[in-house]
Amino acid sequence: NAGVMQNPRHLVRRRGQEARLRCSPMKGHSHVYWYRQLPEEGLKFMVYLQKENIIDESGMPKERFSAEFPKEGPSILRIQQVVRGDSAAYFCASSLTGTRNTEAFFGQGTRLTVV
Amino acid sequence: GENVEQHPSTLSVQEGDSAVIKCTYSDSASNYFPWYKQELGKGPQLIIDIRSNVGEKKDQRIAVTLNKTAKHFSLHITETQPEDSAVYFCAAPHSGYSTLTFGKGTMLLVSP
């Protein structure tokens, strides 16, 4: 009974490169959320997706960031032309439903370092 | 949107003591309040949650209380152990969806 799987666990990119972060939700979950955690800070919501649809992207930066959750395969968070300020831990969570009181389970995160 | 405040930011206790972490929220429509534990280098782990139809919930050494009138909820850990040392986050629903707004976290250190 695998939990939320994220890969890679660690990712190093040079400024200007692209970063692709993958997330496979828990079995049976079709709701996926991406959060960003800056050093010594809490988790900030970025985007909420349900299979093939973006439900809420109010936390996503307007430029360079995009997310998708295709019908088949993992959810992808894509960061183009990375800058040093993108260095953070990116966490994916999944839930069974999209109701307001649903339990969300997190993956182990991808730690992105931009050099 | 929701605003969640969490206190204290750090908490040091001796093994066996109790620890209490408090959070307040702003959206009176919020009805679900989870707590997460995050160990170094790992993802947040859901440890307990409470829904607005109850005032308290217990699970072994941890308990959560909710005061809807005052819009605050608290995490209580009794008989603390060194393995309880971690960062604890409270959360509440963000806007009208199933997304969460998190507090800034409390670093709990339990000394043997």
Tens-level pLDDT at each residue, chain A (115 residues): 579 999 999 999 999 999 999 999 999 999 999 999 987 778 999 999 998 899 999 999 999 999 999 999 999 999 999 999 999 999 999 999 888 888 999 999 999 999 9
User: What is the DSSP annotation of chain B?
Assistant: ---EEEE-SEEEEETT--EEEEEEES-TT--EEEEEEE-TTS--EEEEEEETT-SEEEETTEEEEEETTTTEEEEEE-S--GGG-EEEEEEEE-TTSS-EEEP--EEEEEE-
* Best residue of B32, B57, B98 to probe chain A, by most A CBs closer than 10 Å: B98
Task: Give the largest Cα separation in chain A, rounded.
Answer: 40
Q: Measured at the alpha carbon of residue A28, what is the angle toward residues A23 and A33, in degrees to the nearest 5?
A: 40
**For residue B37, pLDDT beyond 70:** yes
Copy the structure tokens of residue B93.
Answer: 């629903």
User: Rounded to whole angstroms, how far apart are CA atoms A1 and A4?
Assistant: 10
- In Å, how far is A25's CA from the nearest CA of chain B? 14
Measured between its terminal Cα atoms, the distance across chain A in Å is 36
pLDDT at position A76 is 98
Check CB contact under 8 Å for A106 and B105: no
Copy the structure tokens of residue B14.
Answer: 């001796």
Measured between its terminal Cα atoms, the distance across chain B in Å is 41
Share of chain A above pLDDT 70, in %: 99
Q: Measured at the alpha carbon of residue B108, what is the angle toward residues B106 and B112, in degrees to the nearest 5?
A: 175
- Decide if B14 contacts B45 (C-beta within 8 A): no
pLDDT at position A1 is 54
Q: Which residues pair with A37 in a beta bridge?
A: A43, A89
pLDDT digits (tens, 9 = 90+) for B66-92: 999 999 999 999 999 999 999 999 999
Nearest to B3 by CA among B30, B37, B21: B30
Q: Does B62 touch chain A (CB under 8 A)?
A: no
The nearest alpha carbon in chain B to A55 belongs to B97
User: Rounded to whole angstroms, how far apart are CA atoms B5 and B105?
Assistant: 9
- In Å, how far is B42's CA from the nearest CA of chain A? 5
- Decide if A17 contacts A113 (C-beta within 8 A): no
